[in-house]
Chains A and B, each alone.
Chain A
Amino acid sequence: MAETGTITTEQVDKLLAKIQGKNNYYESIAAFLADNFNVAYVIIGKLISGQSKVETEVFYANGSTLDPLVYDLRHTPCENIVHRNACFYPTNIQSLFPKDEELKELNVQSYLGKRVLNSKGEAIGLVALMHTDSIHNPDHIGDILEHLANHLSKDLK
């Protein structure tokens, strides 16, 4: 099992400064998170349809970027993300969300997601990590996603 790496907020800031305004902005962030936290999947998306769906800005999977997609939040780990700050499902996530077919297809076992708020405190998006094994060090990852979400609040519109 690969170890979960650590990232500093300074590293995040440095990356964001380097890629700001570039076409691969979200993909670069996703790759950075996936590589450093050793997770298979990263999603960055914005909430649409009255906060009931997510439109992905990037869906990073095993080193590649999948086509953009829109998915319903109901019956997924992101459900109620509007009301919940950061969610962590350490293992066995397919049993917890049996109606989420994507989790099965991608063999996802764990999930850590953080909502993105706008300046009014309204949920406008999310950043989520998923993995085919357990995700470790959730406190550290949660802190980094919190920092990142503060930046993304200006970008996800």
Chain B
Amino acid sequence: MRSDKDILTAVIARAVSNGYDFGKNVTRIEDVVITSFNVEEGTLALVLRTSSKRVIQYDHYKLLFFEMSFAKALFGADWEKHLYELAVTDNILKYLKQTLTL
């Protein structure tokens, strides 16, 4: 069974492969490393392998999904509908796992 971190990694990989740019032209999943992810507390830290190593820390990983360009890259044309669903679900990872073929 896939862990929560595996699911999140696959989700980020999909968004990146669909054109999401983490900034500084970080557009390859190989350049994005999840260094910590606590699903209960929701905290997430990403390291971007750029020329000047950059760390992005989220107090809650859900913030990632509500960036419009991330949602568009992840869900495509139906992004707005999925964002509504993400806003009301009590388990974002479960929703993503059920909705996306990861």
Contact = CB atoms under 8 A, between A and B. Distances in A.
Interface of A: 74-75, 77, 79-80, 83-93, 95-96, 134, 138-139, 142
Contact of B87 (A75, A86, A93): A93
Contact of A74 (B59, B62, B68, B71): B59
Contact of A87 (B23, B68, B88): B68
Name the interface size band of chain B. 10 to 19
Majority-rule SS of B interface residues:
helix
A86 B88 contact: no
B69 interface: yes
Contacts of B47: none
Give the most central of B22, B58, B68: most A CB within 10 Å.
B68
B68 A86 contact: yes
Interface string B75-101: 000001001100110000000000000
Nearest to A111: B66
Contacts of B56: 80, 83
